[in-house]
């Protein structure tokens, strides 16, 4: 946006913000800032804002902890106060564990990131706000946010580390926009899932050998045995390669038996 | 279970396992074992099994990192090999990031923990297996598991720390059994959400004062203005206390004006 757009009353905004900013208010340990940066990189977030980090900025321990994600730290912006850090944002979720004693809308991380997706789809600028390690967010800080996210935890042990909190929320953010199917069959580059025809050939091959070797006995139980074997093999979702391997195993076992028989007719 | 139950062929099992075990195979850093224990405590898991931790066991750095969750570490069991660590389990999910080149069923964490819930509901003993920090799980280790979980991440930066991986899966486990509503209104102990009657009294009070003070002008726009104000105030989901506060504000502003008028008729 060119500078001459700065008409009186104009508030500078990210023209096309496609993901929420992560705002850490008064973070204490460089390690946690680094862990937060790494979690952001894992889940495709990049706008990191720090309100008055206790140990100054930049922070070498943050860089060590961020490993390959130090580009997030390099681009991080430091602000003297929270109102300045979130001034351009239109929808801010605060993360808190404690009950605040004043009325707030509380969302689970999953429901909260859905709100963020909806806000971004409407063109709004968004952020997620995290308090410091010792006390979390102050009530004054929470009161500047639009709503609150609380991570559900075991009641016996609810304390979540700052870096871990960023990780969980960033993970939910990424998941809410991710199309990975809940289940998939992974196989090697030249394999594919077997067709029904390949499976039926496997079945008939195996059953022919089982019949020849007297396994399908007594005859009135043979149909049930065949159905059970087919069900068992179908459940495994073989690839075409695995079907070929199995047919090779059948051949090897059956021929081995024939060979053994051939060399030792009394065996 | 009394010892005399150990009849020949009996496999010792957790009689009533209600949550999966967490198995760390050849973990290197005590810090990560401690972080894993803490994540387990956060999300109501307690059966930690370690396969040959590199730096021996117990590990002081693990205890420092676990903070209040060292009871998980105290109860952790150490095994010399993975087959021994998972021998009593019936359904084991392996967590991996890399494609393995052999066919495996891959689940997202969300879909994977659903399988665990189902297996546990059937009375099966379950575990979730994590590889070491440097190489993750070996192919041989993955091949001992029932299926694989892979955390979806940004393609640009997919490396997840061991403690973080345990945290994400433990979080999904907890969430899958957690009934926290996606959204709730939190308020102080003596407040509750306002009734429609209280809101209607607020509206009529405010509108009476606005009318008296000439705000609802011109008259043919008054209905629209009233509807907009009511919509705006309804959206905020006030508590009963907040409605009383607002009515106090209205009284203060309106009476202040009356008083000012009274003391300064020319004002």
Q: Over 60: is that where the pLDDT of B265 sits? A: no
- What is the number of domains present in chain A? 2
Q: Are residues B66 and B96 in the same domain?
A: yes
> Quick one: pLDDT band at residue B188, thresholds 50, 70, 90?
confident
Residue A20 lies in a domain: yes
Residue ending a domain, choose from A179, A207, A224: A179
Cα distance between residue B250 and residue A214, in whole Å: 94
**Cis peptide before A58, with omega less than 30 degrees from 0?**
yes
Residue B132 lies in a domain: yes
> Quick one: pLDDT band at residue A101, thresholds 50, 70, 90?
low
Count of alpha carbons within 13 Å of B90, Cβ hemisphere only? 17
Order the strands of the B183-186 sheet from edge to edge.
Answer: A77-79, A48-51, A21-25, A126-130, A91-95, A147-149, A104-107, B183-186
Backbone torsion region of residue B63, taken as left when φ is above 0, otherwise alpha when ψ lies between -120 and 50, otherwise beta: alpha
Length of chain B as a residue count: 267
Residue ranges in chain A assigned as alpha helix (H)? 30-42, 60-66, 70-74, 82-86, 109-121, 139-142, 162-176, 196-212, 222-235, 240-263
ipTM above 0.90, yes or no: no
Residue B144 lies in a domain: yes
Residue ending a domain, choose from B118, B151, B179: B179
Residue ranges in A125-189 assigned as alpha helix (H)? 139-142, 162-176
Q: Are residues B152 and B209 in the same domain?
A: no
pLDDT at position B235: 81
Q: What is the mean pLDDT of chain A?
A: 86
CA distances from B177 to A46, A97, A160, B254 (A): 32, 19, 19, 52
* Residue B122, helix vs strand vs coil: coil
Structure tokens at B250: 């209205």
Q: Are residues B101 and B63 in the same domain?
A: yes
Q: What is the average pLDDT across B173-199?
A: 86
Residue A204 lies in a domain: yes
Q: Are residues B159 and B238 in the same domain?
A: no
- pLDDT tens readout for residues B33-66: 999 999 999 999 999 999 999 999 999 999 999 9
Q: Do B154 and A42 lie within an 8 Å CB cutoff?
A: yes
Q: Do A183 and B102 lie within an 8 Å CB cutoff?
A: no
CATH of the domain at B90: 3.40.1280.10
Q: Are residues B53 and B158 in the same domain?
A: yes
Q: Do B104 and A180 lie within an 8 Å CB cutoff?
A: no
A259 or A32, which is more confident: A32
Closest approach of chain B CAs to the CA of A104, in angstroms?
Answer: 5
Residue A264 lies in a domain: no
Q: Are residues A50 and A106 in the same domain?
A: yes
Q: Are residues B132 and B172 in the same domain?
A: yes
- pLDDT tens readout for residues A197-218: 999 999 999 999 999 888 998 9
Name which of A114, A260, A262 is nearest A175 in CA terms.
A114
Q: What residues make up the domain containing A243?
A: 196-258
Q: Are residues B61 and B158 in the same domain?
A: yes
Cα distance between residue B126 and residue A46, in whole Å: 37
Residue A38 lies in a domain: yes
Q: What is the mean pLDDT of chain B?
A: 86
Residue B263 lies in a domain: no
Which of A166-170, B99-103, B157-161, B215-219 is least confident? B99-103
Q: Which B-chain residues 131-150 have CB contacts (< 8 A) with chain A?
A: 148
Q: Are residues A113 and A159 in the same domain?
A: yes
Considering only CB atoms, which chain B residues are within 8 Å of A157?
38, 41-42, 68-69
Cα distance between residue B142 and residue B145, in whole Å: 5
Q: Are residues A171 and A207 in the same domain?
A: no
- pLDDT tens readout for residues B82-123: 999 999 999 999 999 876 666 778 899 999 999 999 999 989
Q: Do A107 and B183 lie within an 8 Å CB cutoff?
A: yes
Q: Over 90: is that where the pLDDT of A192 sits? A: no
Q: What is the average pLDDT across A111-133?
A: 94
Considering only CB atoms, which chain A residues are within 8 Å of B186?
99-100, 103-106, 148
Burial (0-12, 13-18, 19+ Cβ within 10 Å), B34: buried
Q: Which helix (H) or strand (E) holds B158?
A: none
Of A105, A157, A186, the CB nearest to B183: A105
pLDDT at position A258: 60
Q: What is the average pLDDT across B199-217?
A: 92
pLDDT at position A184: 83
Residue B174 lies in a domain: yes
Q: Are residues A97 and A146 in the same domain?
A: yes
Q: Do B106 and A183 lie within an 8 Å CB cutoff?
A: yes
pLDDT at position B2: 40
């Amino acid at each position: 946006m060119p500078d001459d757009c700065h008409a009186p009353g104009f508030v500078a905004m990210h023209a096309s913000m496609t993901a929420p900013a992560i705002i850490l208010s008064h973070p204490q340990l460089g390690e946690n800032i680094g862990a937060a940066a790494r979690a952001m990189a894992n889940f495709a977030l990049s706008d990191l804002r720090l309100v008055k980090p206790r140990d100054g900025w930049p922070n070498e321990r943050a860089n060590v902890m961020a490993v390959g994600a130090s580009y997030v730290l390099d681009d991080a912006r430091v602000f003297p106060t929270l109102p300045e850090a979130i001034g351009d944002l239109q929808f801010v979720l605060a993360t808190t564990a404690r009950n605040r004693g004043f009325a707030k809308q509380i969302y689970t991380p999953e429901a909260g990131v859905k709100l963020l997706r909806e806000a971004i789809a409407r063109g709004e600028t968004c952020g997620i706000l995290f308090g410091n390690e010792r006390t979390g967010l102050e009530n004054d800080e929470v009161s500047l946010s639009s709503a609150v996210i609380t991570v559900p935890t075991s009641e016996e042990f609810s304390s979540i580390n700052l870096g871990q909190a960023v990780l969980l929320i960033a993970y939910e953010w990424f998941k809410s926009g991710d199309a990975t199917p809940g289940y998939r069959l992974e196989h090697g580059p030249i394999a594919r899932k077997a067709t029904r025809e390949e499976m039926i050939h496997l079945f008939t091959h195996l059953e022919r050998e089982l019949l020849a070797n007297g396994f399908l006995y007594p005859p009135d139980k043979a149909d049930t045995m065949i159905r059970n074997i087919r069900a068992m093999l179908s459940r495994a979702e073989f690839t075409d390669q695995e079907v070929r391997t199995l047919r090779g195993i059948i051949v090897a076992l059956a021929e081995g038996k024939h060979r053994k028989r051939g060399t030792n007719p009394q065996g």
